[in-house]
Amino acid sequence: MPSKQALLIIDYTNDFVADDGALTCGEPGQALAPAIVKLAESMFDNEDWILLPTDVHTPHDPYHPESQLFPPHNVRGTWGRELFGALKPWYDAHQHETTVWQFDKTRYSSFAGTDLDLRLRERGIDTLHLVGVCTDICVLHTAIDAYNLGYKLVIHQAGVASFNPTGHAWALDHFKNSLGATVI
């Protein structure tokens, strides 16, 4: 029987996690690597879907709202957009598997401007496990869209981080109390 769940590893790139990333959450993000890779491997072994929605930008794009808010980051073809740490070799080893795919996103939510909802529905997926960065930005906006589309949500607390500790704590509370997510 096909899996009804998917893991979304959101924006776990050098620019968002590495010490010298353009918009890094630093140590809190770096500490996630073992938990994210372990969860990816476990869900892969269970024949679940592993998706890697990954932010991509053009530097100084005058039409993109983030250009006014943040320095250039996750520019296509740069070191900053590569997956961080142990996730990179894990993905390199699994990228040709049918249940693993990385895709571009240009907004906070993994659903905005992508075919994610269509792909999930084609596969009968009804439950999304979310990990990645930043808890209070891209993970949050993805969770809100998923909630509005009727998906069940599981947020892995050991798999999310932010550069804003207050925002991180608020988002975890919001997942549970406003979106009905299971936070583990």
Per-residue three-class SS string for the chain: CCCCEEEEEECCEHHHHCCCCCCCCCHHHHCCHHHHHHHHHHHHHCCCEEEEEEECECCCCCCCCHHHHCCCCCECCCHHHCECCCHHHHHHHHCCCCCEEEEEECCCCCCCCCCHHHHHHHCCCCEEEEEEECHHHHHHHHHHHHHHCCCEEEEEEEEEECCCHHHHHHHHHHHHHHHCCEEC
Q: What is the pLDDT of residue 83?
A: 98
Of 21, 136, 130, 146, whose CA–CA distance to 80 is shortest?
21
- Give how many domains the chain has, as a whole number: 1
Domain with 92 in it: what CATH number?
A: 3.40.50.850
pLDDT average per 10 residues of sequence, the chain (184 residues): 89 98 96 98 97 92 82 91 98 98 97 98 97 98 98 98 97 98 98
Domain interval for residue 66: 5-183
The token pair at 19 is: 């010490």
Q: What is the pLDDT of residue 1?
A: 61
